Amino acid sequence: MNSGKKTFLIVDDSEFDRQLLAKALTIKGDFETIQAASGEECLRIIADQSIDLVLIDILMPGLCGTEVLQKIRETHNPIELPIIMVTAKAEAADLVACFRAGANDYITKPLNFEIAVSRIFMHLDLVAMSEEMSKLRGVIALDMVIASHHQAINNSLATALGYLESADMSDPAAKEKVKDALWKIADSLKSISAAGEKKELGYKDGFDPFKVITLTGDCF
């Protein structure tokens, strides 16, 4: 599989519909596609492989599309894995149920492939924008850590210099004060270094089925 291409999972019990959609996607968007004939197969694939977007038919035997969607959202939020529902009947109740379960969008059968591909690109762009915003949050958080420790360094440095200039350094108490100030400076520098090296994006539970992006790391 070419890792430079986006990989989509098409879930539909109709082989004809799967093949038709896969063909259109590979022509119009030059995407990689994987197919699943059932909800159960879809869940196995997602557990084993990296998928960029899922298209799920709502009406399927066994696990229906909405049930599959709910199970996916237990482990993947809409930012991590966009899911577009495919339906032959655009009834409001069905669509509302899908959106409440965490669907990003829907398209109707018979498919208009220009519209389908446009919506897919839109959700891929939203994912990319979200990732950029997350990186920006990380930079802002790192700046806050640096600013906080910058003040601590200045205070400790002022303390050390004050004792060096005015105190009798043969006095053990003065030496201890300077030593303590220098260790505080060293600890602050270590924390700043750790913030730059170890910060990483993660997720914490939010309102189901969504999660909240956070900045995690040993230094925060």
For residue range 82-135, what is the model confidence (pLDDT) as tens digits?
A: 999 998 877 788 888 899 999 999 998 888 888 888 888 888 888 888 777 766
- Distance separating alpha carbons of residues 96 and 114, to the nearest angstrom: 24
Report the pLDDT value the prediction gives residue 42, as an integer from 0 to 100.
Answer: 97
Query: Best-predicted range by mean pLDDT among 69-78, 88-97, 171-180, 182-191?
Result: 69-78
48: which residues sit within 8 A by CB, 6+ positions away?
none
Classify residue 73 by its DSSP letter.
Answer: T
Q: Which of 21-25, 66-70, 209-213 has the lowest mean pLDDT?
A: 209-213
Q: What is the mean pLDDT of the chain?
A: 78
- Distance separating alpha carbons of residues 179 and 101, to the nearest angstrom: 58
Kindly tell me if the per-residue pLDDT of 215 is higher than 80: no
The DSSP code sequence of 119-173 is: HHHHHHHHHHHHHHHHHHHHHHHHHHHHHHHHHHHHHHHHHHHHHHHHS-TTSHH
Q: Is 67 exposed, middle or buried (0-12, 13-18, 19+ CB in 10 A)?
A: middle
Domain 7-111 has CATH 3.40.50.2300: yes
Kindly tell me if the per-residue pLDDT of 205 is higher than 50: no
What count of other Cβ atoms lies within 10 Å of the Cβ of residue 174? 15
147: confidence class by pLDDT, cuts 50, 70, 90: low
Q: Is the entire prediction scored with pTM above 0.75?
A: no
For 61, list phi and psi in degrees, rounded to 5. -70, 160
185: nearest Cα among 165, 220, 159? 159
* Higher-scoring residue by pLDDT: 28, 119: 119
Report the pLDDT value the prediction gives residue 139, as an integer from 0 to 100.
Answer: 65
Kindly tell me if the per-residue pLDDT of 220 is higher than 50: no
- Distance separating alpha carbons of residues 81 and 217, to the nearest angstrom: 23
- Distance separating alpha carbons of residues 82 and 169, to the nearest angstrom: 65
Report the pLDDT value the prediction gives residue 136, as an integer from 0 to 100.
Answer: 66
The percent of residues in the chain predicted with pLDDT above 90, rounded, is: 33
The percent of residues in the chain predicted with pLDDT above 70, rounded, is: 66
Query: Best-predicted range by mean pLDDT among 1-10, 22-31, 91-100, 153-162?
Result: 91-100
* Higher-scoring residue by pLDDT: 144, 96: 96
* Higher-scoring residue by pLDDT: 110, 143: 110
